[in-house]
Amino acid sequence: MKVVLFCGGLGMRMREDAASAPKPMAMIGDRPLLWHVMRYYAHFGHTEFILCLGYGAAAVKDYFLHYDETLSNDFTLSMGGRDVRLFSSDITDWNITFIDTGLHATIGERLMRVREYVEDDPLFLANYADTLTDAPLPKLIERFRAGTEVASLLAVPVQSTHHVIDIGERDQVSRVHPIRDLMQWENGGYFILRPEIFSVLRTNEDLVPHAFERLLPGRRLLAQRYTGFWRAADTFKDRAELEDLYRSGRCPWMLWDANRNGLRPVPVVSR
């Protein structure tokens, strides 16, 4: 199944240490965020990628054109470095299409510009290039395939670390509790789409909320709630936290690496 990844945003909130690189190219360990997202999909057998490029397109292209398999795979070096025998490979079976979708395009417009690559498929996947999860993708696809909705999104608990307060009489605070306790849900990406999505996309509008709002009257938008691991790297702080997880060896999203994902059970998606 094809995977469309939106890689062209400016990422202004995460440019403290990388003034020129696009946000998906921020490093987690030895690989960029984008690679981690792609590796997640490849783990489940989805290796045909369409990258919607914009800001920092050259950095993305250059990375894959000069990809070094030795950074994340064991190997034997001989003949003074002239011969390298890899024990495994990351991207040998990947098919990556690089499409310039504009510097200032919305997510919806970027999707419209790659329509020709996915519109003949019964289903395709799409996602932001900077969110990580250990969600059971085959189960998400199976549930969506069995229904009639046009789009599915991963719904995750609100990630804010802020607190909300209950205010009683005379403006006295009666309770302080985390926003997460409210069990509100936010869009976590990891979209599954049918080609009918293109009928509700418009120029100068976005996928969320504009196109998705047009699906609501017919109940054609499915939310798949998930309470397991999910992180968005929206800020430098977010990226630093992911880097800390990587350095500690606790990386739930790295399902392809038993040494780092902890082999813990994956929570069940709600039905």
Taking the C-alpha atoms of residue 175 and residue 54, their distance in angstroms, rounded to an integer, is: 45
Between 223 and 81, where is the model more confident?
223
Q: Is residue 125 over pLDDT 90? A: yes
Grouping H, G, I as helix, E, B as strand and the rest as coil, residue 138 is: helix
Position 91 scores a pLDDT of 84
Position 265 scores a pLDDT of 44
Share of the chain above pLDDT 90, in %: 65
208 DSSP 8-state letter: I
What is the C-alpha radius of gyration for the chain, rounded to an integer number of angstroms? 20
pLDDT digits (tens, 9 = 90+) for 161-193: 677 788 888 887 888 877 777 778 999 999 999
Position 268 scores a pLDDT of 46
What are the sequence ranges of the domains in the chain? 2-261
Residue 246 pLDDT grade (very low, low, confident, very high; cuts 50, 70, 90): very high
Taking the C-alpha atoms of residue 104 and residue 97, their distance in angstroms, rounded to an integer, is: 20
Q: Classify domain 2-261 by CATH number.
A: 3.90.550.10
Beta-carbon-side half-sphere exposure of residue 75 (alpha carbons within 13 Å): 17
Taking the C-alpha atoms of residue 156 and residue 154, their distance in angstroms, rounded to an integer, is: 6
